[in-house]
Copies of this chain bind each other. A is one copy, B any other.
Amino acid sequence: MKKFINGIDSVLSESLDGLCVAHPDLLVAGPEHKFIRRAELKPGKVALISGGGSGHEPLHAGFVGQGMLDAACPGQVFTAPTPDQMMEAAEAVDGGAGLLFIVKNYEGDVMNFDMGREMSGRTIETVITNDDVAVEDSLYTTGRRGVAGTMIVEKIVGAAAERGMSLGELKALGDAVNEATRSMGVALTSCTVPAAGKPTFEIGDNEMEMGVGIHGEPGRRRVAMMSADAIAAELSEAICGDLGEAANGNAIVLLNGFGGTPAMELYLMFNAVKPLLEKHGARIARSLVGSYVTSLDMAGCSLTVSMASDEMLALWDDPVHTAALRWGV
C-alpha cells in the first residue's frame, strides 16, 4: 500500500484538519472531529446534516457551506458515523427551524442517523437516498444503495433551505429529487482501505466490476474490459431502462470519478454518454464532470442522471460555496 499517510489511526483526523485549514473561512471541526460544520451559521434556516463513512471525499464534508450542508458527520473509512456524532452536530447547527438529515441507504448509516435523531430530541426529518440501480438488496443494504446522486440531493435541498423553505417542504423536495435520480458505477481497480493495507477485492488485468458499489462491494457482474462506448451504453441503458418514460425531459448529469481516474478519461466518458442519454429523450440541461463521490483510490466512474423540473434546475443554479462545489459566489 502506497498512500500519503502518517499512521493508519490518524488518516481521517489529519485529512479533516487539512480540509479545515485549507478552508478556514468556510469550515470548523467539532470536538474530536465528530462533525465538520459551517464556520458561519445562518439562524432561522432549516439545518442540513449529512455524513457517512469516510473515503468518499469530497462527499460529505467538502459539501458543507453556503447553499449546501450545515454539517457533515464523518465516520471512519467506510464505516457509519456513530449516533453521538449526529446528536452533537444537530446541537451545534440547529438554527431553530428544524433539521434535515440526508442519509445514504446503508443499514449502519440509516440506523445510526436514526439513533442520533432519537437521542437528540430535536425536530428532525430524514431523506434517505437510494439512487444506485446496479443491485437491489446488497452487501450492506436492504434495497438500493445511496451513491453519487446524494450530492445532487444535497445541492438542491441545500439551495432550498437557503431560500427559507420549511422542514416539511425540504423533506418532500429531498424525497422527490432522490426519486428522480439514478446512478450506476463501474470499477477498473479495487480501492485499498488504509487499515486493511491491501486491495479490497482482486480483479484481473483485463476485468472490470460492472455496477460496483462505492465501497468496492460487488455489482452486477465481473466482465472483461470493454470500450468506453460499450461501458457508457451499459450504464446509460441501466439508468434509462429504470427511469422508463421519466427519462424524457431535462436532466442534471453527473459523470463522477471514483478517485483514481483522471479528468481526461471522465470527459471522454461524458462524451460517450451524452448521445446515449439523448436517444432516450433526456436533455442534458446541466452537467458536472469530476471526482465528487469517491471510493478512496479506486479507478472507475459512475453515471448519475437526475430528471429535473424547472424548480430543481433553478435550485441547482443557486449560489453555492463549499470546498468542492462553488459557483455564483
Q: Is the CB of B270 within 8 A of A22?
A: yes
- Which of B5, B229, B299, B301 is within 8 Å of A2, CB to CB? B299
- Which of B5, B231, B274, B323 is within 8 Å of A4, CB to CB? B231
A256-308 CB contacts (< 8 Å) to partner B: 259-272, 274, 284, 287-289, 291, 294, 296-297, 299, 301
**Chain copies in the assembled complex:** 2
A12-28 CB contacts (< 8 Å) to partner B: 14-19, 21-23
A205 interface residue (CB < 8 Å to B): yes
Smallest CB separation, A323 vs chain B (Å): 8
- Which residues of chain B are near A327, meaning CB under 8 Å? 326-327, 329
- Which residues of chain B are near A287, meaning CB under 8 Å? 21-23
Q: What's the dominant secondary structure at chain A's contact region?
A: mixed
Given A17-B271, A328-B329, A4:B301 Cβ within 8 A: yes
Q: Is the CB of B6 within 8 A of A260?
A: no
- Which residues of chain B are near A2, meaning CB under 8 Å? 188-189, 205-206, 208, 225, 299
Smallest CB separation, A207 vs chain B (Å): 8
A259 to B271, CA, bound (A): 19
A66 interface residue (CB < 8 Å to B): no
- Which residues of chain B are near A274, meaning CB under 8 Å? 18, 21
A211 interface residue (CB < 8 Å to B): no
Tell which of A54-62, A102-110, A119-127 binds the partner.
Answer: A54-62
- Which residues of chain B are near A231, meaning CB under 8 Å? 4
A165 interface residue (CB < 8 Å to B): no
A229 to B58, CA, bound (A): 22
Given A6-B227, A260-B297, A265:B21 Cβ within 8 A: no
- Which of B5, B62, B228, B270 is within 8 Å of A263, CB to CB? B62
- Which residues of chain B are near A291, meaning CB under 8 Å? 262-263, 291
Instruction: Identify 19 new A-B residue pairs, CB closer than 8 A, beyond the known A2-B208, A18-B266, A55-B264.
Output: A3-B188, A4-B265, A4-B266, A4-B269, A5-B228, A5-B268, A6-B227, A6-B229, A18-B267, A18-B269, A23-B287, A57-B262, A57-B263, A62-B263, A262-B294, A262-B297, A289-B323, A291-B291, A326-B326
12 pairs, A vs B, C-beta closer than 8 Å: A2-B208, A4-B228, A4-B269, A5-B265, A6-B227, A6-B229, A11-B268, A22-B255, A22-B270, A22-B287, A62-B263, A327-B329
Chain A: residues with CB nearer than 8 A to chain B? 2-7, 11, 14-19, 21-23, 54-55, 57-58, 62, 188-189, 205-206, 208, 225, 227-229, 231, 255, 259-272, 274, 284, 287-289, 291, 294, 296-297, 299, 301, 323-324, 326-329
